[in-house]
Amino acid sequence: MNVCKLNAQNVASLHTSGLPVIRPKQIHSFSMGRQTRFHAFHEDCRRFVCFLRERDPVVITRWHSSESDNLEEVANPWEAGAQYCLWNQAILPTLRRRASGKYFNIDWSEPVIEFNYPAPALEPWNGQPALIQGRIWANFETENKEFGRWYDAAVRWLRKNFVRDPAVGYDRDSIGAAAYEWFKNGGLLLPALRPPTTEPWLAFFDVQNQHRATLTPSSAG
């Protein structure tokens, strides 16, 4: 296998033991949903959240609860990884979770943004520090122009303030400035689902390591 010619697309098509490996771009999504994926450190997350709160009356709460349908605001979501809900009260004045079995969940059909922010604590992958990919996602089955404009504003901020580096293997996705400096100093950028240590994935991340060697690391590394 010539890893120098390997990229995310052909890694994703490889199979091991007759089963497909986890794809770098594999993530659950509904047919009418839109998502923007990113890698972010706590400082990247904090800057994004500050933008959202300064622009609109946005409340951030956890998407799921095992205890109550009542919503409690999370003041500093960058301190703990979770599946969050971005609720713009100017668009949706009231919101509650709905009972679903033993849990209470935000209804996917509501005009809110799902904000998946992985845990800021890094777990090594094959001996290297590694960061899981996050995303924002929204359901657009029901047309809501005001909600669409808000979602687009969030996406524009991410694309303007985060880094695009297709050579890391995620050609349409963004990397926060702090996360990118960390990557340049030896970290790995994982997909949304933690992959197994199979030959295709070892080759995929070898490409990241080769690309890193062409970049100038931060002096703070």
Identify the three-state secondary structure at position 17: coil
Distances (CA, A) of 219 to 79, 93, 167, 189: 25, 47, 22, 20
| Selection from 37, 21, 63, 45 nearest residue 192 by Cα | 37
* Measured distance CA(144)–CA(142) in Å, rounded: 6
Pairing of strands 19-20, 134-139: unpaired
Q: What is the chain's mean pLDDT, rounded?
A: 85
Q: Give residue 171's pLDDT.
A: 83
Tell me: the pLDDT tens digits for 128-163?
999 999 999 999 988 899 999 999 999 999 999 999
Each domain of the chain, given as residue ranges in start order, spans 28-198
Q: Quote the pLDDT of residue 219.
A: 54
- For 54, counting Cβ atoms within 10 Å of its Cβ (0-12 exposed, 13-18 middle, 19+ buried), the class is exposed
